[in-house]
Structure 1
């Protein structure tokens, strides 16, 4: 057996008394403010911002894709191309009559020449004389949701009367939209998973560093009978506060970005390019559900930070046994 000198025993007793006094005063084992803590808050804020931005963007694209699918599924288009020797207006009228005779169609209307040319303005610019260009005429076919439409019968009826007409039922676009929306959701989940893994690793390194810096105090507390639950709770509370602070900063920044994007899209709505952008991607405005998801992500990251720290401390304390 190894015996300590009287001076060593007095030093150990003084250290134990100070540790025991710390227990009674409930002094935190980990300093409330430190360089490592501020660095961890910054990392968590960045991770939360990226996670919130990814989740919000995925929800915007998914909602836009749902709107596209709804609009495309309820409509079809007939395109009548101008051909030399044929009257374009007569061809449009014949295509309208043929489409109206098919069951399953709720409404049919044609774009005028001016409306058809206006569709090209965002790409070709305003002020151009398009009278010499062979601009096709579009006919919009509104489908009746209460009745089934025979697409082949519609195509035959229109083409028999107007050979220079083509019908687009948008099935290929629907398939592509579904694939795109699913891909965006999968990518968002992958990014969120990577963010969580990176955050867990950062919290793990920070917890081990905090334990290493307070190793002597932890060992003495462990020797004098401090419960593992008490020691782990100190670390859990400390890192939960850090995670909550970083989550609030990162989540708030993500919410601010979407609020600014929504405001900018409203200002751009009056321009031709803004109209096209809104038609493609929506108004960039998250719903209450979207903002709630960002808040849940921030809260989940804070809770995860505390739990990861607690588990690591428990594991290291078991190694002291």
Structure 2
């Protein structure tokens, strides 16, 4: 009777739903500690690297977009410059040069830059109130051309040389080629810097993961010894470091995006000031397009994914080292 009662009590305890519910609600301690010094340090490092990556990407994007805009503007226009000469009637020469330019197919319009506009162009260098008649200031004719079917520049030069010898045609191709080369070099430098930053971030994640593995090596060894698969242990570390990478990358990317927004707002609200003019002349407009902001989001996603994948590979490699040391005790003594 006693043995039967004992068996019944055991069956009752096993079938007790309330007890099973309490057991199922009991919190399970994570393999990787949710908060530790290495995790916080890694998050700060990822945030800094993400900020620098986003800043570099934004700068490269702005340079590329500005270069494309300048190239488009240059490819739509050519300039006829007429230098003052003895016995030259400037206004007549300007009108004749404009007529010659419009006579060629592929030219859409031609505008003479008048004296007032020429004076405004020279004010930043010569100051206000100077007399144009006292200086040999050349005059310009701005010709808009069809980008898809440009005119014959050689023929225009030849006809200008015959009719207006003081006229010089500038199609800006040499300047545009230099601009394109400079933009390409800048983009290549930016891509190289981004590559170095990504490599640095990956190495940082590897070292941080190994540090966490060293601190929790006994737990990993016990789990691995009792039959926990390598993929399970790797997934636990991957989830933890994915969250760390996502938080750090999002913080760094957000600060960079906010910086571009604040700089653009400052430039818009401080127009026609000396400081703004100097900054704009040196660095241009700090206006980042939608492609630049999407690029920052892409950097956040890429760094987070890279952190997770690097962590998983590092954990798998560490567990394999544990297996090799277990198979060969001499390796453990050397380590």
Which range, TM-score by smaller chain?
A: 0.7 to 0.9
Question: Which residue is equivalent to 1:187?
Answer: 189
* Pair 1:87–1:178, CA change in 2 (3 A): same
Instruction: Please tell me whether residue 51 in structure 1 is matched to residue 53 in structure 2.
Output: yes
Question: Which residue is equivalent to 1:247?
Answer: 249
Deviation of 1:130 after TM superposition, in Å, equals: 4.3
Deviation of 1:205 after TM superposition, in Å, equals: 0.5
Question: Which residue is equivalent to 1:163?
Answer: 165
Q: Which has the larger displacement, 271-280 or 133-142? A: 271-280
Counterpart of 1:102 (choices 89, 101, 104) is 104
Deviation of 1:234 after TM superposition, in Å, equals: 1.6
* Pair 1:98–1:248, CA change in 2 (3 A): same
Q: Deviations over 1:155-188 (max 9, x none)?
A: 1111222211111011101211221221122112
Would you say how many aligned residue pairs link Structure 1 and Structure 2? 299
Cα distance in 2, alignment partners of residues 272 and 134 from structure 1:
29
Question: Which residue is equivalent to 1:70?
Answer: 72
Question: Which residue is equivalent to 1:85?
Answer: 87
Counterpart of 1:288 (choices 281, 290, 299) is 290
Counterpart of 2:115 (choices 113, 116, 138) is 113
* Pair 1:276–1:205, CA change in 2 (3 A): closer
Aligned pairs for 1:109-258 (under 5 A) are: 109-145=111-147, 147-258=149-260
Cα distance in 2, alignment partners of residues 150 and 63 from structure 1:
29
Cα distance in 1, alignment partners of residues 229 and 148 from structure 2:
69
Counterpart of 2:30 (choices 15, 28, 31) is 28
Structure possessing the higher radius of gyration over alpha carbons? 2
Q: Deviations over 1:243-292 (max 9, x none)?
A: 11111110001101110121122234445886797699764222222111
Cα distance in 2, alignment partners of residues 224 and 138 from structure 1:
86
* Pair 1:275–1:137, CA change in 2 (3 A): farther
Deviation of 1:139 after TM superposition, in Å, equals: 0.6
Does the CA-based 8 Å contact 1:269-1:278 persist in structure 2? no
Q: Which has the larger displacement, 121-130 or 30-39? A: 121-130
Cα distance in 1, alignment partners of residues 115 and 248 from structure 2:
57
Cα distance in 2, alignment partners of residues 108 and 276 from structure 1:
32
Cα distance in 2, alignment partners of residues 254 and 90 from structure 1:
55
Question: Which residue is equivalent to 1:6?
Answer: none
Cα distance in 2, alignment partners of residues 200 and 147 from structure 1:
50
Q: Which has the larger displacement, 271-280 or 143-152? A: 271-280
Cα distance in 1, alignment partners of residues 86 and 278 from structure 2:
32
Deviation of 1:97 after TM superposition, in Å, equals: 2.1
Q: Give ranges in structure 2 of 5+ residues lacking alignment.
A: 1-22, 324-335
Cα distance in 2, alignment partners of residues 135 and 273 from structure 1:
29
* Pair 1:196–1:277, CA change in 2 (3 A): same
TM-score, normalised via structure 1 length: 0.86
Q: Which has the larger displacement, 62-71 or 127-136? A: 127-136
1:142 is paired with a residue whose SS is strand
Deviation of 1:129 after TM superposition, in Å, equals: 4.4
Cα distance in 2, alignment partners of residues 41 and 125 from structure 1:
54
* Pair 1:170–1:275, CA change in 2 (3 A): farther
Cα distance in 2, alignment partners of residues 298 and 146 from structure 1:
40
* Pair 1:271–1:71, CA change in 2 (3 A): farther
Cα distance in 2, alignment partners of residues 141 and 273 from structure 1:
34
What is the aligned-residue RMSD (CA, Å)? 2.3
Cα distance in 2, alignment partners of residues 147 and 196 from structure 1:
44
Does the CA-based 8 Å contact 2:111-2:142 persist in structure 1? yes
1:77 is paired with a residue whose SS is strand
